[in-house]
Chains A and B, each alone.
Chain A
Amino acid sequence: MPRVAPRLLKKALKAHSLLPLLLPACRSIEQSAQEFRWIRNELPNMKQVRQACLQRFKLVPLQYILGNQPFGELDIVCRPGVLIPRWETEEWVCELSERLLGSMGPLNSPFPIWDLCCGTGCVGLLLQRRLGPGCSLTAVDVTDAALGLCVENAHRNDLERPRLIATDVLTKKIVPDSRISLLTCNPPYIPKNQFAADTSPSVKRHEPQLALIGDLEFYSSLVNTWIHHTDSFVYEVGDRRQIEYVMHGIRDDPRLQLEWCVGYRLDSSGCPRVVYGYKAESSLAGALSGYGDLLYIPPGAGK
């Protein structure tokens, strides 16, 4: 349990008898008070508020306690066993959808999106909401808990039920039945040797390791397999190394280097957050070229 200064505890106690319980998770009085307001607003009675604060004291994520997390204009149901959507993800998905809409308008030709490692489904579902019924979503995850939640979230947000595929995306077994327009993926990207030291206690204790621990294997399956089925991709990353891995994988491949542009994006805290790519000839080039900073452009391709 992270230590909390006694001075802070006293101050919190003055504000409300339950507030000290939130300090270990929130760290500051202001943040604790904020969370306390949310808890009070969303739970019907004091008994449940108390329960919630006690759980929070054990560092259970607020989203598991309250049962949801806003994601763009979607309300995403969250449950233990499935990773909670992060603001960094929300940020790049929002920006991506705005770019796509801005350059293509509401879709009228079919636009197949595959969201790998879908978890709650937040990425694919927000794209579906924003791009409209023209896009058809296929959601892939290895756990049934995630796929179940993804359907529930489609339903909760009045979206068409996505097609679900329960499989390991690292095997080469799935061959998409038609060409993918946009491939998105937020794979587990915390290297095993960083997990213990760098991951926050709440995440370590309460979120599924299967959704968190991973490294280059997902980016390797992108450049070796998935890329051949799609016109564009957007993958979340945890560090610069993962971006460079994808960039090299494309630049050093005799076929891919002729067709693909690769770029990256920082999140609003300044951390490397996304590696993306598109075929220079594809109709998405206009929308995606300015999405981040380009790292590689095939010879002969104009900007």
Chain B
Amino acid sequence: MQGIRWLSYTRVHLIKKHKLPPRPKFTPSLESQCEEKFLHGGRGPGGQKINKCNSKVQLKHLPTGIVVECQQTRSRDQNRKIAREKLALEIERANTPGQSGTIREKALQQWHQQSKKSKERKAKGKHEQHRQERELQELEKLKQEQDIIKSMMGS
């Protein structure tokens, strides 16, 4: 009966954390469909005359017109990577019917609810404690992901 639990008379397939649909990937073929811009605010002289610590990366997916930006870190290299993750996520979202997130996000939500229920149910053995710690870490990751999404909506 692994992976199956009886919930109010309905048989439900449990979401396994390690079997979640993967995070959308930014593939080399996506790279070739993108236009990248670096925005440093204003024209001005630049070079040695000024020292700007921000570097905003803007990535546009030409076929869909989706645009993402990132200036989260001080590293242009990092910002470029994050922008690519964001874009992959956005493209996946656009490709997912309905508006409540990607397949992965839905699965994560479901997993979240399911583990909350099971937490209420189960006793706290040592084994359980371990599991919960792991779960907390996963939740943390989930939260981070949601933060990324939020900050994307914000900026």
A residues near B (Cβ < 8 Å) are 31, 34-35, 38, 61-63, 69-70, 72-73, 83-84, 86-88, 90-91, 188-190, 194, 198-200, 202-203, 207, 211-212, 236, 238, 267-271, 273
Residue contact A203 to B54, C-beta cutoff 8 Å: no
Do A268 and B49 form a contact, CB below 8 Å, given A31-B54, A70-B76? no
Residue contact B43 to A70, C-beta cutoff 8 Å: no
**Given the complex of chains A and B, what is the CA–CA distance between A267 and B37 in angstroms?**
11
What is the minimal beta-carbon distance from A85 to any residue of chain B, in angstroms? 9
- Say yes or no: is B22 at the interface (Cβ < 8 Å to chain A): no
- Say yes or no: is B53 at the interface (Cβ < 8 Å to chain A): yes
Residue contact B51 to A203, C-beta cutoff 8 Å: yes
Q: Would you list 19 pairs from A and B whose C-beta atoms are within 8 A, ordered by A residue?
A: A61-B53, A70-B75, A72-B77, A86-B46, A86-B51, A86-B52, A87-B40, A87-B55, A87-B76, A90-B76, A188-B48, A194-B49, A199-B49, A202-B51, A203-B48, A203-B51, A238-B49, A267-B47, A269-B43
User: Of A35, A88, A190, A270, which is within 8 A of B53 by CB?
Assistant: A35
B residues contacting the other copy or chain, number (CB 8 A): 24
- Say yes or no: is B71 at the interface (Cβ < 8 Å to chain A): yes
- Hey, which chain A residues are within 8 Å of B41, CB to CB? 31
Most chain-A CB neighbours within 10 Å: which of B37, B48, B49, B55?
B48
- Hey, which chain A residues are within 8 Å of B75, CB to CB? 70
**Given the complex of chains A and B, what is the CA–CA distance between A98 and B50 in angstroms?**
26
**Given the complex of chains A and B, what is the CA–CA distance between A66 and B78 in angstroms?**
18
- Hey, which chain B residues are within 8 Å of A211, CB to CB? 48
